[in-house]
């Protein structure tokens, strides 16, 4: 199987797996403690969680704290539902290409909602207006479907000047690009070669949150529930590894991206060619039946549009927002390149896909 779906998830890095195994001990081990217990076993587990927290914190700007969550979806829900301006009923502004974790959450709030416009290159309008009374702006750093890098620095500057909090969904940026500054930032371990089932919300000092989950008061009272030392340790090592290899990993995807543009010369790139993370290649070709392509080329794991939307049978919302027709969106595929993608994988995938497209007479 050739894995080209790195926006959906990434394989676990061997280093992260190794770190996790140590905290998955059985009855004969000393590593199964509850990190919130006061005895020695508990304190050992707590120490592992705190080491992991520091490693994860190194991904973020200085001056904030890391709250572990079960996923980035939970982190974004905590940020959007739990912050003071939203609870006070102030307006919320998001872009038209946010992940469902932000979009659906924002739509479910009773607060007035503004959708910031996005151009044909898949870039949010950095000068887009939001009404007076907006207390929270949420824009992602890298789009999960088309890989475009958003002008979040400028949006944060404007939000600050307007007295609004700024949330950044950095799920597709974390571990790949330096994370941009914001008031709250959500990430997910399984997008940077860490385990599934753990995410984090970074919160700038001074930003108050009302918890979604109440109970034992863990995570400074912001997120009750027993943490998994194994998941924390895996996320911590994955974060440390991603930081130490960031330039190397970026050079690798840059090179693969350039090669892919040659191999897929008959396709058109969706989204800006320059303002993008090169591990994401969203391509369209007129008349291609992507559903048939996916069933013909089962040796390659890739996605039709967004992995989240692909079960729905509906054309991608993001591709529609950037101006693609329903037919163009339906003829689009997303290839996700990553740390362990070899040149030969990409070449073989391209050959299999091109052969299947030719068989469709396209
Ligand atoms: N935000 C973006 C941009 C994503 O790509 C995803 C996952 O696909 C999420 C949020 C949700 O992350 P999680 O799987 O940790 O809930």
Contact 247, 112 (CB under 8 A): no
Ligand 1 atom with the shortest distance to the CA of 169: 1
Structural domains of the chain ordered from first start: 2-7+245-355 (3.90.1150.10), 14-241 (3.40.640.10)
- Distance from chain centroid for Cα 100: 11
Rounded-to-integer distance, Cα 53 and Cα 56, Å: 5
Ligand 1 centroid – CA 167 distance (Å) = 14
Ligand 1 centroid – CA 26 distance (Å) = 32
pLDDT in tens, the chain (362 residues): 999 999 999 999 999 999 999 999 899 999 999 999 999 999 999 999 999 999 999 999 999 999 999 999 999 999 999 999 999 999 999 999 999 999 999 999 999 999 999 999 999 999 999 999 999 999 999 999 999 999 999 999 999 999 999 999 999 999 999 999 999 999 999 999 999 999 999 999 999 999 999 999 999 999 999 999 999 999 999 999 999 999 999 999 999 999 999 999 999 999 999 999 999 999 999 999 999 999 999 999 999 974 455 556 666 899 999 999 999 999 999 999 999 999 999 999 999 999 999 999 98
Rounded-to-integer distance, Cα 76 and Cα 74, Å: 5
Going by CA atoms, what residue is nearest to atom 16 of ligand 1? 73
Ligand 1 centroid – CA 257 distance (Å) = 22
Query: For position 279, what pLDDT does the model report?
Result: 98
Which of 5, 73, 138 should be mutated for ligand 1, with most atoms under 8 A from CB? 73
Ligand 1 lining (C-beta closer than 6 Å): 71-73, 99, 101, 140, 144, 169, 171-172, 188, 199, 308
Cβ contacts of 227 within 8 Å, gap of 6 or more? 35, 36, 49, 68, 218, 219
Query: For position 333, what pLDDT does the model report?
Result: 96
Query: For position 362, what pLDDT does the model report?
Result: 83
Contact 208, 87 (CB under 8 A): no
Query: For position 241, what pLDDT does the model report?
Result: 98
Rounded-to-integer distance, Cα 254 and Cα 291, Å: 28
Ligand 1 centroid – CA 12 distance (Å) = 16
Residues tagged active-site: 308
Could you tell me the pTM of the whole model?
Answer: 0.97
Strand partners, 3: 301
């Amino acid at each position: 199987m050739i894995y080209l779906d790195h926006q959906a998830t990434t394989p676990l890095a061997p280093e992260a797996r190794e770190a996790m195994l140590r905290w998955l001990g059985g009855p004969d081990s000393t590593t199964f403690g509850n990190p919130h217990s006061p005895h020695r076993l508990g304190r050992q587990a707590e120490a592992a969680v705190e080491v992991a927290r520091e490693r994860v914190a190194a991904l973020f700007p200085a001056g904030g704290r890391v709250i572990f969550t079960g996923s980035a979806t939970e982190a974004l829900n905590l940020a959007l539902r739990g912050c003071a301006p939203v609870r006070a009923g102030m307006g919320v502004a998001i872009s038209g290409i946010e992940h469902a974790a932000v979009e659906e959450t924002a739509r479910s709030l009773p607060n007035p909602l503004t959708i910031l416009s996005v151009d044909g290159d898949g870039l949010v309008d950095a000068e887009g207006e939001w009404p007076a009374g907006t207390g929270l702006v949420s824009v992602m750093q890298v789009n999960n479907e088309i890989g475009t890098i958003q002008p979040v620095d400028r949006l944060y500057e404007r939000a600050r000047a307007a007295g609004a909090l700024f949330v950044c969904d950095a799920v597709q940026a974390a571990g790949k690009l330096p994370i941009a500054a914001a008031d709250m930032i959500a990430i997910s371990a399984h997008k940077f070669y860490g385990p599934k089932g753990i995410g984090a919300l970074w919160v700038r000092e001074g930003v108050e949150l009302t918890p979604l989950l109440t109970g034992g008061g863990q995570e400074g009272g912001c997120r009750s529930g027993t943490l998994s030392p194994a998941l924390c340790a895996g996320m911590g090592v994955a974060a440390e590894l991603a930081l130490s290899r960031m330039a190397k990993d970026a050079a690798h995807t840059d090179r693969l991206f350039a090669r892919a543009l040659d191999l897929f010369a008959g396709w058109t790139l969706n989204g800006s060619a320059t303002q993008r993370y090169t591990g994401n290649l969203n391509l369209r070709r007129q008349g291609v039946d992507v559903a048939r392509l996916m069933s013909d080329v089962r040796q390659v794991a890739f996605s039709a549009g967004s992995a989240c939307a692909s079960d729905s049978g509906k054309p991608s919302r993001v591709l529609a927002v950037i101006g693609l027709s329903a037919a163009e969106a339906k003829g689009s595929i997303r290839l996700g390149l990553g740390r362990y993608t070899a040149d030969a994988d990409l070449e073989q995938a391209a050959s299999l896909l091109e052969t299947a497209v030719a068989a469709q007479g396209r």
